[in-house]
Amino acid sequence: MIYKCNQVGDIQIFKVESFSISYKNGFRFKPYYAKSPTRKDLEDLMQYFESAKTSDFVVRINILDQHEKYNSHWSTLYHEVNEVKYLAFNEADLINLSVLNKEKYAPREGYAPCCYCGKQILSEKLITKTIIGRGTKKVWNSWKGQYENKASVTQESLKFCSGQCAAHEQMSREG
């Protein structure tokens, strides 16, 4: 089992479906020969095993996500589970992060989330900025006799906790 703490502070449990082991350097070797191996083939085989002794292994974990409406699969590297702060093999390792996320991001009365970072801020302290981006709109094409999607400029008023979050959102829309 792998445990994941989401932004709101809920700890989700994921079932490990399978795992695979590969070399970090991406060694690929096919030990099958159509005819009897030559001396060069045997030298290549010995070199492969010598390099495999010093190579780092990568363990990829395939996970079945049953929290969504449909089952989905995702994967992560073994070392990332230990390095990333929101994933763990033990639920107790995520308790502190869960408490911090609940204090910061869980919905509360009189507070509203920032549209960029999701942090809960007093509704009076939120600032409203107009974000300009690129989107599509339906336009009637009289030649084809149907609606088509055309690129257009969009403007959207959103509430942010700071000007920095508004700037980051604007930059993300510019692409």
pLDDT, one tens digit per residue, over 58-84 is: 666 676 666 555 556 666 776 677 677
Length of the chain: 175
Whole-number mean pLDDT of the chain?
79
Model confidence at 159: pLDDT above 90? yes
Are 14 and 80 members of one domain?
yes
pLDDT the model gives residue 80 = 72
Residue after which a domain boundary falls, among 104, 126, 144? 104
Model confidence at 115: pLDDT above 80? yes
Structure tokens given for 29: 């070797």
pLDDT the model gives residue 57 = 62
Are 15 and 94 members of one domain?
yes
Q: Where are the alpha helices (DSSP H) in the chain?
A: 39-54, 78-83, 95-105, 163-174
Other CB atoms within a 10 A radius of the CB of residue 109 amount to 5
b/e per residue, 4-29, with b = 16+ CB within 10 A? bbeeebebeebeeeeeeeeeeeeeee
Are 25 and 98 members of one domain?
yes
Are 120 and 82 members of one domain?
no
